[in-house]
Amino acid sequence: MTRLPKWNELWRYPVVVGVAILAIGITLAWWAKIDISPLLATAEIRRGQLWRLATCIFPHIDILHLAFNVYWLLVFGAKVEEVYGHGRTASLIVVLAIGSSALDFALDSGGVGLSGVGYGLFGFLYVVCTHDDRFRGTLDQHTINLFVGWFFFCVVTTVTHIFRVANVAHAAGAVLGALIGYAIVFPKWRLHSVATVTAIILFGVWASTLGRPMVNLSGRAGYEEGKWGYQALLSGENERAARWLHDAAKLQPKEPAFWFDLGIAYQRLGDLSAAMAAYQRAHQLQPDNSEYSEALHGAN
């Protein structure tokens, strides 16, 4: 099995060490209550802030989360960087970060941490270590069992609501890493593998932006937008409120509060027909709410 690089060897792996340092530094800043919100995977992705799909890999929730991910990044990543060099390793990490984060945000609610990259490197090495002599012995059975077992353990903890884990990021990272590995060790499959990776990345970017209302499976999408829209209403930013509340109502069409707040935003902007439609939808969803009824009659 590949070992953790020694301290006096770290200079040989500037890419993975640099990513590890960024993860540690940004995580410590987050824990110190420094605002790192521009790096997180939030609904701002749907407003074109696509860099968040890469930068959200740096913050971590707690010390165990950080230690586990940084450890395996150094173990797996150093071997990849030793064989393939700095540029290719950086490109691999970027692809794994964007692909795993995009699909996790699109299908679930998005998360933080290097887990998707770690599983991507695991999937990559799982393929190449049996076909490239330079990687012989990189993965032993204990490590394979650990990663497979941890994946299913995280699924169970998420399903049972013990604690939520970015399972989509784990799965997406592993699949992307394996496909990239196949592209390298099986030249005759290269075109198909590269095309599949490209399709997954493009789907992830589309699904995390324009397509999120159609593909999100979490049941939680839209509440962040609804909160931001309500806050914008309170501060009098009516155009901003209308944009966020429109997204919230599209993602959670059965949530009457989003429609009601959207109606307020439209009414303040002078779009009475849109306000009427939003109030009517809120009233239909919750006809016994007197506030909704009064707003509907007042807009007539």
* Residue extents of the structural domains in the chain: 7-215, 223-299
Q: How many CA atoms lie within 13 A of 151 on its CB side?
A: 19
Percentage of residues in the chain with pLDDT exceeding 90? 78
Helices 223-234 and 238-251 meet at what angle, rounded to 10? 160
Cβ(124)–Cβ(89) below 8 Å: no
* Spatial separation of the C-alpha atoms in residues 36 and 129, rounded to whole Å: 37
Residues 231-281 pLDDT 10s: 999 999 999 999 999 999 988 999 999 999 999 999 999 999 999 999 999
What pLDDT was estimated at residue 1?
Answer: 61
Residues 205-236 pLDDT 10s: 999 998 988 898 888 888 999 999 999 999 99
Residue 224, number of CB atoms within 10 A of its CB: 18
- pTM comes to 0.89
pLDDT at 299 over 70: no
Write the burial class of residue 37 (CB in 10 Å: 0-12 exposed, 13-18 middle, 19+ buried): exposed
pLDDT category, 193, cuts 50, 70, 90? very high
Cβ(183)–Cβ(128) below 8 Å: no
* Spatial separation of the C-alpha atoms in residues 156 and 142, rounded to whole Å: 21
Residues 82-116 pLDDT 10s: 999 999 999 999 999 999 999 999 999 889 999 99
* Spatial separation of the C-alpha atoms in residues 261 and 230, rounded to whole Å: 7
CATH of domain 223-299: 1.25.40.10
What pLDDT was estimated at residue 289?
Answer: 86
Cβ(118)–Cβ(63) below 8 Å: no
Cβ(60)–Cβ(116) below 8 Å: no
* Spatial separation of the C-alpha atoms in residues 56 and 276, rounded to whole Å: 39
Q: How many residues does the chain have?
A: 300
| Homologous superfamily (CATH) for 7-215 | Rhomboid-like (1.20.1540.10)
Buried b (16+ CB within 10 A) or exposed e, 267-279: beeeeeebbbbbb
**Based on C-alpha coordinates, what's the Rg of the chain?**
23
